[in-house]
Amino acid sequence: MKPEVELYDTTLRDGSQGEGINFSVMDKLRIAEKIDAFGIHYIEGGWPGSNPKDIEFFAEAKRKKFKHARLAAFGSTRRKGVPVENDDQVRLLLDANTPVVTIYGKTWLLHVTEVLRATPDENLAMIADTIRFLKDHNKFVIYDAEHAFDGYKDDPEYGLATWQAAEKAGADFVVLCDTNGGSLSTEIGKITAVASKKLNIKVGIHTHNDTGLGVANALAAIEAGATHVQGTINGYGERTGNCNLTSVIPNIALKMKKRCLPDSSMSKLKELSQFVDEIANIRHDPRQPWVGEAAFAHKGGTHVNAVQKVVRSYEHIDPASIGNTRRVLISDLAGRSNIVMKAHELGFKISNDTPELKEILTRIKQLEHEGYEFEAAEGSLALVIRKILKHQEPPFKIEGYHVSMRRDRAISVCQASVKVQVDGITEHTIAEGDGPVNALDQALRAALVKFYPSLKKVQLTDYKVRILDSAGGTGARTRVLIESTDGKNEWGTVGVHDNIIEASLQALVDSIEYALMRK
C-alpha cells in the first residue's frame, strides 16, 4: 500500500548532532534495524564526507537487508570552483553505496554571497551539477533546500529558482528545510503551498524545534501539500532538536488520518521511542507527548472518576493505539477511584465499597504527608495495600544491621552486616560494596537467597535520592527511590527517613518483599 506521507528518519545524522548524543557504529546499526522494522521509508545513515565513523557505518550497513526502509547517505552540493567529478565529498557519497543520496544546497542569497562567497548563478550550477552527477550514477536523489523559508522570505524569486534548478537537474524530491527553526506555521504553510504549486516533483519538509513548533510546522507543510516529512526519534537534534517523529507520526496517522505506516506499526511507537532513548543512554521523558509515561496519567480525583465511567472523557485517544497505557497516579488529590484503579492494576480485587478502602486511603495520605511518593513506587504501594487487606506476616524481618566505611590509602571500602529472620531462623551475613547502600544490598541478598533462591534474578537498576526539606540542610528528611528488575518486570520502591541509610534500607526491603510477593 502506497503511503500518502513518506517518513524520512535522520536520527543517525541530524539527531546525532544533539547535545549528549553519541552513537557508536554498533548503536547506529541497531537503531537502523529497529527503525526499518517499524516501517519508516528512508533512513539517513550519516554524512560520509564529515566523519570516518559514518563511512564505517555504510560499509557495515551494506551487508544488512532492510525490509521497509531505503538507506540514504547525506552530503552537500559540490564545492565552489571544483568540477563535481573531482569533489571528494561527492565521491564519498557514491562510495557509501546507498540507493538514496540526499544533498543539501543553498536557497538563501545571504548564505550564497556571504558564507559561500559565490555568485547567485554559481550556486545554481553547484546544485544542478551535483544532482545531475548523482542521477547519472543511478541514485534516487533527495534535494534538501537549506534555509528554504528564510531564503524565500528574503528573495522569493531566487529561492524558487534554486528549487527549480534541482527539479530541472532531475531531483526526485525537493525538501524545504527550516534550518534555523524560527518560522511560524502560517509562513511554512504559505511557502510550502507555493513550492507545491510551482514544482512538478514532490515536496518534503524538514523542520527544527527552536520555537517549539517543529511538529506543528511539519503538519502545516503537509496540509499545504508536502508528502514527505523528515525528523528524528524523540526529537533529537542540534540545539532544541528536530521535528519529533514520535509525535508527528501519530498526528499524521491518527489525527490527519493520512496513511504513513503499516497498520501493525503504530502500536509499537512507544517501544521504538524507549528503545532509541535506551541506546542513547537518555532517560525516557515522562512528559513526552503521546509516548511518555505521563501522557495518559490521571491524577485529579474528578478526572479519575470520569475516566472510570467513560474513558474518552479525559483522553484524546486510546493510549493502546500507540502502545502506551493509562496510569492512575496516587497523590493527595486522589479519591477512592484512584486507589481502586491502581489496586486493580497491581492485581488486587477491590471495589468502591470494600470495607478496608477507607483505611488504605488514610494510610496512603498519612505516608504522603511524611514525604513518601508512590507515583514511581508501585512496589511499596502494593505492600501498603496488601498489609491492610491481608494481615499477613512479612516474608522476613530485619533484626539488626551495621554499616561501616573506612579508607585504605586511595581505596574506600564499605562493609555491611545484616541479621535477618525467616520463619524463626536467624541468618547473619557480612558483605562489602562500593558504597554503604550497595554493601547493605549485598549482605541482605546473601542472607535471603538461601531461603528464596528466586531472588538471585532480582537486581537493583537505579537509585535516586531527594532531600525533602532543603532548609534543614543535612538534618533534612531523605527520600530514596529504588528501581529493581527481575529481568522481565521493573518496579519502584520508596523509603523516607532522617537518615539516608535507613531510608535506603526501607526501599531495599520493600523491593525484595515485592519481588517475593509477585512470584
3-state secondary structure of 191: helix
- Closer CB to Zn ion, residue 14 or residue 167? 14
- Closer CB to Zn ion, residue 14 or residue 378? 14
Least Cβ distance, residue 460 to Zn ion (angstroms): 40
Q: Is 167 in the site for Zn ion (CB under 5 A)?
A: no
Least Cβ distance, residue 40 to Zn ion (angstroms): 17
**Please, which of residues 432-491 interact with Zn ion by CB under 5 A?**
none
Least Cβ distance, residue 10 to Zn ion (angstroms): 7
Least Cβ distance, residue 187 to Zn ion (angstroms): 17
- Closer CB to Zn ion, residue 212 or residue 472? 212
- Residue 392 grid coordinates: 499477613
| Residue type at position 356 | E
- Closer CB to Zn ion, residue 14 or residue 44? 14
- Closer CB to Zn ion, residue 31 or residue 218? 218
- Closer CB to Zn ion, residue 205 or residue 437? 205
- Closer CB to Zn ion, residue 14 or residue 36? 14
**Please, which of residues 4-23 interact with Zn ion by CB under 5 A?**
14
Q: Are 504 and 493 in contact (CB under 8 A)?
A: no
**Please, which of residues 191-230 interact with Zn ion by CB under 5 A?**
none
Q: How far apart are CA 192 and CA 176, in angstroms?
A: 8
How many CB atoms are closer than 10 A to CB 315?
A: 16
- Give the number of residues in contact with Zn ion, rule: CB under 5 A: 1
Least Cβ distance, residue 447 to Zn ion (angstroms): 55
Query: Which residue's C-beta sits nearest to Zn ion?
Result: 14
Q: Between vectors from CA 204 to CA 22 and to CA 167, what angle results, nearest 5°?
A: 115
Least Cβ distance, residue 495 to Zn ion (angstroms): 45
Least Cβ distance, residue 221 to Zn ion (angstroms): 14
End-to-end Cα distance, the chain: 45
- Closer CB to Zn ion, residue 17 or residue 459? 17
Burial of 221 (0-12, 13-18, 19+ CB in 10 A): buried
Q: What is the 3-state secondary structure (H, E, C) of 295-328?
A: CCEECCHHHHHHHHHCHHHHCCCCHHHHCCCCEE
Least Cβ distance, residue 97 to Zn ion (angstroms): 24
Strand pairing class (478-485; 459-467): antiparallel
Among 138, 116, 196, 152, which Cα is nearest to 127's?
116
Among 105, 111, 74, which Cα is nearest to 90's?
74
Q: How far apart are CA 114 and CA 135, in angstroms?
A: 29
Burial of 324 (0-12, 13-18, 19+ CB in 10 A): buried
Q: Are 479 and 347 in contact (CB under 8 A)?
A: no
Least Cβ distance, residue 190 to Zn ion (angstroms): 21
3-state secondary structure of 466: strand
Query: Which H helix or E strand runs over 273?
Result: helix 269-280
- Closer CB to Zn ion, residue 44 or residue 441? 44
How many CB atoms are closer than 10 A to CB 452?
A: 17
Least Cβ distance, residue 122 to Zn ion (angstroms): 24
Q: How far apart are CA 226 and CA 204, in angstroms?
A: 5
Q: Are 190 and 224 in contact (CB under 8 A)?
A: yes
**Please, which of residues 47-86 interact with Zn ion by CB under 5 A?**
none
Least Cβ distance, residue 268 to Zn ion (angstroms): 25
- Closer CB to Zn ion, residue 159 or residue 323? 159
Residue 54, φ and ψ in degrees, nearest 5: -70, -35
- Residues 344, 347, 353, 357, CA torsion sign: negative
- Closer CB to Zn ion, residue 14 or residue 27? 14
Interface residue list for Zn ion (CB under 5 A): 14
